[in-house]
Amino acid sequence: MQFLNDRLASYLEKVRGLEELNAELESRIREQCEEDVPLVCPDYQCYFDTIEDLQQKLVETDISGLRGILGELTVCRSDLEAHVESLKDDLLCLKKNHEEEVNVLRGQLGDRLSVELNTAPTTDLNRVLDEMRCQYETVLANNRRDVEEWFAVQTEELNQQQLSSAEQLQGCQMEILELKRTANTLEIELQAQQSLNQLAEIRCDLERQNEEYQVLLDTKARLEGEINTYQGLLDSEDGRQVPHNHS
């Protein structure tokens, strides 16, 4: 049972370690969410990889740990059942020994009665019988009480050990479920943060395209102005050349 308790303690320690890793990762993500959205969106692939790796570890730890504990509980139960059977055999052996002792006492009593019938009066014989009967009943009652008390104590200890192991296993399963819920919550928060980052990236792209479009409009307006200026100069030059040709 001590070995099983040590294994349960080690398994719980591993679960707490994974829970602390979850808490640390969640704290980092919340700190990132509280900061202003940067112009260049960060890469959260490492967080997703960490979540996937953590979930895989949770599943593997859950399966291997529970299977190991279940196997050990099965072995422990078999040992306890064998121990109970051994105790029952011991009790039967004690009862058999008591019966043999009773037969021996009866044989001794019969020999003593044969001797005392020839040497003692009837009153002495009755007194001896009463004394021996009282002694025999006292010894038998004490032995029976001791055996029953010892058997009850052993049975209670075994029941308590089995109950303690079951309670520890149930507590371990509850901690695993809570850890899974924490991992799911963390994954949802990561997905929400990814959506916000995607929206920020789209907004950055729209603003950049708008700026580029505005630059193109300004360039177009400037070129059109220059073309109009050149066209005006050409028209003026053509106007001066026409009268000169007529003269």
Give the Cα separation of 1 and 158 in Å (integer): 10
pLDDT for 15 equals 66
pLDDT for 200 equals 80
CA angle, corner 94, sides to 89 and 96, nearest 5?
95
Largest CA distance in the chain: 191
Report the residue count for the chain.
247
Give the Cα separation of 38 and 60 in Å (integer): 37
Which amino acid makes up residue 140?
L
- pLDDT averaged per 10 residues, the chain (length 247): 59 69 71 56 61 71 71 74 79 80 73 52 64 78 82 82 78 81 83 80 83 86 85 76 54
Give the Cα separation of 150 and 156 in Å (integer): 10
Judging by beta carbons within 10 Å of its beta carbon (0-12, 13-18, 19+), is residue 186 exposed, middle or buried? buried
**Residue 197 corresponds to which tokens in the numbers above?**
């980052």
pLDDT for 124 equals 66
pTM above 0.75, yes or no: no
Burial 46-81 (b: 16+ CB within 10 A, else e): ebeebbeebeeebeebbeebeeebeebbeebeeebe
DSSP letters spanning the chain: -HHHHHHHHHHHHHHHHHHHHHHHHHHHHHHHHHSPPPSSPP--HHHHHHHHHHHHHHHHHHHHHHHHHHHHHHHHHHHHHHHHHHHHHHHHHHHHHHHHHHHHHHHHHHHHHHHHHHHS-HHHHHHHHHHHHHHHHHHHHHHHHHHHHHHHHHHHHHHHHHHHHHHHHHHHHHHHHHHHHHHHHHHHHHHHHHHHHHHHHHHHHHHHHHHHHHHHHHHHHHHHHHHHHHHHHHHHHHHHHHHHHH-
